[in-house]
Amino acid sequence: VKRLALALLFVSSTAAAEDGLQLKAVETGLTAFEQRGVGYQSQASSTVLGPGSERLIVFEPQLLVRARQGERLEHSVLTTLDIVTAASPNAVDRLRKPDAISNASKTNQAGAIDWTASYAFSPHVNGALRNGVHLEENFRSLWNGIGASYSFAEDAATASASLQQIHDWFDRFDVTGVRVGRATRTTTSGNAGFTQILGPETVVHASYGLTTQTGELSNTWNSVPLNGYGEEREGELLPRQRVRHALVGRFAQWLPWTGALKGSYRFYADDWGVVAHTLEAQLLQRFSPLVYARASYRFHTQTAVDFFTTLATPETTFRTADSDLASFEAHTIGGKISVDVPSLFEGSHLDLGYERYFRTDHVRVNVVLWQAGARF
Amino acid sequence: VVRLALLLFFALTLSSCVTVPQNRRAKLADPMMSVSDDPIETYRKQKLYNSREGAAGGDGVASGGGCGCQ
């Protein structure tokens, strides 16, 4: 891995000195998330032990730039901003003047830059380096990754593998909003995938991912209703390690009426007790050489973590009331239309879509997405 | 799950000896046939699902980390 990283760094710096950049694509996106629902981890409630609001609004503008540098090197830089308003953290310290965490949550501006440099060692072998940074008011994150792919059988089959490391540093707060030092966590993820063209109209893909996490795995201000000496809340207590497995299968099938059917299944299991199944289907229809539409449906079901509770006792070793770690079923329905606009300039396109995510525990999210750009 | 994994494995390996000529891959080149999402859509999906479902990760992306919402 180190040798491949050094080789990529060497060739990228050499290429940078010899070749200029050639723009390949510029994409802009704007996504709005509007969430409603309640969860027992939230204190935005009229009662101490009752579930609190999970109201959340996020505006997320994005910019993606892809550029080629010479014959072999390609860069992809994705910049994302998040403007977040959240009810749950706002309620943490409602009895006193808001401190950093409340200010962060009222209107939290977060930003991330994700840079991937891929290098073609040969027509069949590619290597990639990925680096990124995510900044929030009370949160810092850095990630580094390396990957490679090998295509064979006249490029009908591609095997790929990647390794990624994420380091997070963030302020620790108690459930009353008082800053109590710093916390860290490390995430290491390895993935292996295989893509196969089965015929002129069919392609399949399978992948396996293993993720291990170490450190503070809570956001530190999530609370849990306690059945103690009175009505009160304390912080959630999570194990400091987590090992997660995910197995994914996908297919894409061309349909005779100039359409496509895509589907995927994902199996997930971890050592906290969560077992999940996710099915997704997309039906795409091209109406003209310039216009196609997509309808999609996704179903997700998961079991709760072993220590999930909505009313804990003070003696419990681990506890969480986070609704995201509970047992639930989730559905997402959506649609998108994509229009090429060559009259504007060659390669330009416009995408507009809507998705609705709703769960059996009544958390629901409306997502509106807009994307425009040009591929040169 | 084991049966599904075995079915997927044999489907991939048994078909790997079949190659499709480049001039018969026009339909596969249509953007509608891509088996992976573009980076903007991938990030949006991570935002929607990774921070709301305790079963994120795999499929080429890390689970947890990189976001204060975890």
Residues on chain A touching B63 (C-beta within 8 angstroms): 187, 189, 209, 211, 213, 244, 246
User: How far is residue A9 from each of residues A1, A15, A64, A99, measured CA to CA in Å?
Assistant: 12, 10, 22, 43
Which residue of chain B has the CA closest to A31? B44
Could you give phi then psi for residue A229, rounded to 5 degrees?
-85, -10
> CA A267 to CA A246: how far, in whole Å?
6
User: How far is residue A42 from each of residues A52, A93, A322, A326, measured CA to CA in Å?
Assistant: 4, 12, 8, 14
Which residue of chain A has the CA closest to B53? A324
Please give the ipTM for the structure prediction: 0.82
Per-residue pLDDT of chain A (376 residues; tens, 9 = 90+): 455 555 555 555 555 555 688 999 999 999 999 999 888 878 777 787 888 888 888 899 999 999 999 999 999 999 999 888 776 666 665 554 444 344 445 567 789 999 999 999 999 999 999 999 998 877 889 999 999 999 998 889 999 999 999 999 988 888 877 788 999 999 999 999 999 999 999 999 999 999 999 999 988 888 888 887 677 888 899 999 999 999 999 999 999 999 999 999 999 999 999 999 999 999 999 999 999 999 999 999 999 999 999 999 888 899 999 888 999 999 999 999 999 998 888 889 999 999 999 999 989 999 999 999 998 8
Beta strand residue intervals within chain A, DSSP E: 21-36, 38-39, 52-53, 56-69, 73-86, 108-120, 125-136, 139-152, 157-173, 179-199, 202-215, 223-227, 231-235, 241-255, 259-270, 275-288, 291-302, 328-340, 348-359, 364-375
* A212–B contact, CB cutoff 8 A: no
Q: Which of A33, A76, A276 sits opposite B39 (nearest CB)?
A: A76
Is residue A61 a contact partner of residue A46, using CB atoms and an 8 Å limit? Answer: no
Q: Do B25 and A305 touch (CB under 8 A)?
A: no
* pTM (2 d.p.): 0.87
For the CA atoms of A122, A124, A129, A134, what is the dihedral angle to 10 degrees?
140
DSSP codes, A12-45:
HHHHHHH--EEEEEEEEEEEEEEEE-EETT---S
Is residue A78 a contact partner of residue A67, using CB atoms and an 8 Å limit? Answer: no
- Please tell me what DSSP assigns to residue A326: S
Which residue of chain B has the CA closest to A357? B48
* Pick among B32, B33, B51 to test the A interface (most A CBs inside 10 A): B32
Is residue B25 a contact partner of residue A200, using CB atoms and an 8 Å limit? Answer: yes
The pLDDT score that the predictor gives to residue A219 is: 83
Please tell me the distance in Å from B2's CA to the nearest CA on chain A. Answer: 11
In the predicted model, residues of chain B with pLDDT beneath 70 are: 1, 8-18, 57-70
> CA A124 to CA A130: how far, in whole Å?
20
Torsion-angle region of B65 (φ positive above 0: left; ψ -120 to 50: alpha; else: beta): left
* Pick among A36, A113, A197, A291 to test the B interface (most B CBs inside 10 A): A197
Please tell me the distance in Å from B36's CA to the nearest CA on chain A. Answer: 9
Could you give phi then psi for residue A269, rounded to 5 degrees?
-150, 145
User: How far is residue A215 from each of residues A5, A20, A347, B19, measured CA to CA in Å?
Assistant: 26, 42, 46, 47
Bridge partners, residue A65, by sequence: A26, A77
The pLDDT score that the predictor gives to residue B8 is: 66
Which residue of chain B has the CA closest to A275? B55
Is residue A287 a contact partner of residue A327, using CB atoms and an 8 Å limit? Answer: no
| Residues A2-11: b if buried by 16+ CB within 10 A, e if exposed | eebeeebeeb
User: Residues of A numbered 110-169 whose beta carbons fall under 8 angstroms of chain B's beta carbons: which are they?
Assistant: 110, 112, 114, 132, 134, 136, 138-139, 141, 143, 153-157, 162, 164, 166-168
Q: Which of A82, A112, A247 sits opposite B5 (nearest CB)?
A: A247
> CA A333 to CA A298: how far, in whole Å?
7
* Residue A13 burial (10 A CB sphere; 0-12, 13-18, 19+): exposed
For the CA atoms of A300, A268, A327, B3, what is the dihedral angle to 10 degrees?
80
The tokens of A371 are what? Answer: 């994307």
Which residue of chain A has the CA closest to B35? A252
Is residue A33 a contact partner of residue A355, using CB atoms and an 8 Å limit? Answer: no
The tokens of A370 are what? Answer: 């807009």
